[in-house]
Structure 1
Amino acid sequence: MITNAKDAIAAGASGFDQFVAVIGTPLMIAIACVLLYLAIVKKFEPLLLLPIAFGMLLSNLPMFANSGAIMMHTEFFTDPAYMIDGHLDMQRIFSEGGLLDLLYLGVKLGIYPPLIFLGIGVMTDFGPLIANPKSIILGAAAQLGVFLTFLGALVLGACIPAINFGVKEAASIGIIGGADGPTAIYVTKTLAPALLPAIAIAAYSYMALIPVIQPPIMKLMTTKKERCVVMEQLRPVSKTEKIIFPIVVTIVVALIVPDAVTLVGMLMLGNLAKECGVVERLTKTAENGLMNTITIFLGLTVGATAKASTFLTAETLGIIVLGLIAFCFSTAGGLLLGKIMYKLTGGKVNPLIGSAGVSAVPMAARVSQTVGQKENPANFLLMHAMGPNVAGVIGSAVAAGVFLSMFS
């Protein structure tokens, strides 16, 4: 393994490999500091971007790399030489691993993302989706970017030898288009763990940039007349409907896409706990203490896997470009179906709510509200956009389940 400039030269490595060996560590520290700036000053997804950036900083400090008590050994989780028959060598991890190795088990074993979905479920109101069931197809249409980017990653991997993207890597990259960080991490830790740092950082960075990425696409794909449409007020949703909804969704998803039920089931459990009103202590724990703790562990350990030798690669650049494409196509897919619904309903549906079909809750819905209100100050699209928005959460989890069932 090339670990420094002397090794790189002795091994006859390429110019790029030697470049990474010479300035890789300082460059990674600089990238970590930039991400910290974006999290603290610009407030770009700070709850996860800050621990991710600090984990990256820790793992690239030379003194940290020699500290066995806290060190992150990414090779324990990605290098077959450190595994037993393709499985984690748990005895080695427990005896030789550092603090972050132990915390990273929550990522590798698929524990953290479902627990985050539990907290998201507690904070989610499915009322707008129940009141307007048609909006679920807008959430489905916004997964267009997931599958188009999956195909694009396969083509890129086939055309550029330096970029090694197979079907598992392509599926992990494509899921960025769902605009759901925990889902992207959940898929990647199973299918392409070596790409986890780049995919996690790309996913959360683009989620934070939704207010920048989406409005130009929304204005390009819709007319002023369409953006000015004022939709009818949603009907009231009863408590009984809100209690039945998570139970029915869990059963349906389990029957159709069993691999998605881990994420969707935890999402619906959290929502059911909130809506039933009889387990207030549990909902407060899931929404606050548990959610915050898991967020710290997840961000810190994912960031710690981002070392120069694995992060500063052609694959990372490809992921950043494809991730942006995924977001753009997901937004476009929702808007396109929104325009179709506008036509079919005789102008009663504002196509802008289609862009909220990505699962960045509630940011994408707020963007729909902001763009719509700029065109018509009397327009209030937030609750209408929340329907596709929460449907997108379910849609991205289902898309993840499809990829996992096909390629894991």
Structure 2
Amino acid sequence: MRQVEKYLLKIALLLGIFIMPFAASAEEVDMGEKVSKFLNDTGFAQLFAGNWLCLVMIVVACVLFYLAIVKKFEPLLLLPIAFGMLLTNLPGAGLFHPELFDGGHVHWEAFTNANNIGLLDYLYLGVKLGIYPCIIFIGVGAMTDFGPLLANPKSFLLGAAAQLGIFATFLGALALGFTYAEAGSIGIIGGADGPTAIYLTSKLAPGLLGPIAVAAYSYMALVPVIQPPIMKALTTQKEREIVMKQLRKVSKKEKIVFPIVVTIFVSLLLPSAAPLIGCLMLGNLMRECGVVERLSKTVQNELMNICTIFLGISVGATTTAAAFLNLQTLAILVIGVLAFSIGSAGGVLLAKFMNLFTKNKINPLIGSAGVSAVPMAARVSQNVGQEANPGNFLLMHAMGPNVAGVIGSAVAAGILLSFLG
């Protein structure tokens, strides 16, 4: 038996000597495959495998970073949008899946498989369901003083006239071949109200959300550049020098009643505008009533800041290469600046027209503040007015059309949603 055991041991040793090299080779082959798979799965490999458009979008995101950080163009939202754009265009990251929202609908059944859902897919639900824009409107309302508007009700007309850009651009976009829903979403850029543009576009044309949001916030940031040449071209030196009378003092009771009355009237007249108008007026009522100061400070600061971050990242996530790098996006950017320009001009022209019939003349410069870029547009009116007359103070007068424009853009969005939604 011992002799047999010795022979078996020798055979086992010989077999081991022959097998070991092959086993090592197999392990090396397996390791090589793993290394190859790792390299092929990296974003670098996918970029060089034909996803070069993603690289272009990463460059675009870096340009937006520059505008937000260095030039300070609407940095509170432009920076999150740029970072969302960066994240969604990183090959292989799988943070956002546009197919989950194909056709403008949320495909809820796909959300049951959490392995195929990215972080930005969950965050985008807040945009798609209209949550973030409405919460931001509560904060906007809490930071808005409607006193100048109540002190000079004529401001309502100037704010309404500034919405001319929305409907003129709607017709122009239709003429260029956009659908009714797409044209309505593009037209709302003329209101210079980012949350409203995002809210309406998420309902009517979600495929255009990225380009429209970028255009809306970019032009809001460029108010001091775009508006002054328009204002000066449409007014004379004498008109720019008009000094307006001091506004009357508005009582606290008026300020409390106003948001309640506006909510009831607008919501009954135009139910589709109720979410935006209701949230705007809720925030303003918190500000003016004086009994919920803690809530008012919360919606102005913490709540609004949180939603701004989520909104920006989510909107940026929609700017995939396929959705952004096309002629349609270029057309939106061009039409958007025309919409904003027409809106600015509309308020100025109506103020000039009203001066033909009123005893107390209106400085036409405050008409351009009828767009919703609060308070930047009002400051531009003040600056241009002081260039013409250093003793002229138009800021409070311009705030009337400015806050009227916020209401006007929400109403315009409600009209478009009612007809096109």
TM-score (norm: length of structure 2): 0.86
User: Match for 1:227: what amino acid?
Assistant: R
Pick from 165, 173, 177: which aligns with 2:190?
A: 177
User: What is the aligned partner in structure 2 of residue 76 from structure 1?
Assistant: 100
Report SS of the residue matched to 2:246: coil
1:48 maps onto 2:77 in alignment: yes
Q: Which residue of 1 aligns with 2:123?
A: 103
Partner of 1:83: none
Residue 347 of structure 1 deviates from its aligned partner by 5.9
The one-letter amino acid paired with 1:383 is M
The 1-side partners of 2:71 and 2:263 are apart by 37
Change (3 A) 1:23 1:98: closer
Matched with 1:6 is: none
Residues 361, 389 of structure 1: 8 Å contact kept = yes
Alignment partners' CA distance in 1, 2:223 and 2:270: 29
* From 173, 188, 209, the counterpart of 1:153: 173
Contact 1:178-1:330 within 8 A present in 2 as well: yes
**What one-letter code is carried by the residue in structure 1 that aligns with 2:100?**
F
> SS of the counterpart of 2:301?
helix
Q: Which residue of structure 1 aligns with residue 65 of structure 2?
A: 36
2:220 is matched with which residue? 207
SS at structure 2 position matched to 1:344: coil
CA distance in 2 between partners of 1:404 and 1:60 (Å)? 31
After TM superposition, the structure 1 = structure 2 runs for residues 236-255 of structure 1, keeping only pairs within 5 Å, are: 236-255=249-268
SS of the aligned residue for 1:343 comes to coil
Matches for 1:311-390 after TM superposition, within 5 Å: 311-346=324-359, 348-390=361-403
| 2:111 is the counterpart of 1:93 | yes
* Structure 2 residue 317 is the aligned partner of structure 1 residue 274: no
Percent identity between matched residues is 69
After superposition, where does 1:185-224 map in structure 2 within 5 Å? 185-224=198-237
Q: Which residue pairs with 2:142 in the alignment?
A: 122
CA contact (8 A) 1:135 1:388 kept: yes
Cα distance in 1 for residues equivalent to 2:412 and 2:141: 18
**Structure 1 residue 67, shift from structure 2 partner:** 3.0
Instruction: Look up the match of 1:27.
Output: 56
Deviation string, structure 1 residues 184-233 (Cα, Å, up to 9, x no partner): 00000010000000000000000000000000000000000000001000
- Deviation per CA, 1:2-58: give whole Å up to 9, x if none: xxxxxxxxxxxxxxxxxxx66411211111000000000000000000000011011
Conservation of the 8 A alpha-carbon contact between 1:264 and 1:394: yes
Whole-angstrom distance in 2 between the partners of 1:391 and 1:310: 34
Instruction: Identify the residue that residue 227 of structure 1 maps to in structure 2.
Output: 240
1:258 aligns to what?
A: 271
Aligned-residue offset at 1:343: 2.4
Number of residue-to-residue matches in the alignment: 370
Partner of 1:168: 181
Q: By how many angstroms is 1:325 displaced?
A: 0.5
Instruction: Kindly indicate whether the alpha-carbon contact (under 8 Å) linking 1:131 and 1:236 is maintained by their aligned counterparts in 2.
Output: yes
Deviation at 1:344, TM superposition (A): 1.9
Find the aligned partners of 2:253 and 2:360 in 1 and give their Cα distance: 32
C-alpha displacement of 1:60: 1.1
C-alpha distance in 2, partners of 1:259/1:192? 16
Is this contact kept in 2: 1:226–1:347, CA < 8 A?
no
Structure 1 unpaired stretches of 5+: 1-20, 81-85, 158-164
Q: What letter corresponds to residue 151 of structure 2 in structure 1?
A: A
What is the CA–CA distance in structure 1 between the aligned matches of 2:194 and 2:415, rounded to whole Å?
Answer: 17
- The root-mean-square deviation of aligned C-alpha atoms, in Å, is 1.1
Pair 1:140 & 2:169 matched: no
Distance 1:115 1:345 in 2: 39
| TM, length-normalised to structure 1 | 0.89
Indicate whether 1:59 and 2:88 are aligned. Answer: yes
Aligned-residue offset at 1:98: 1.2
SS in 1 for 2:62: helix
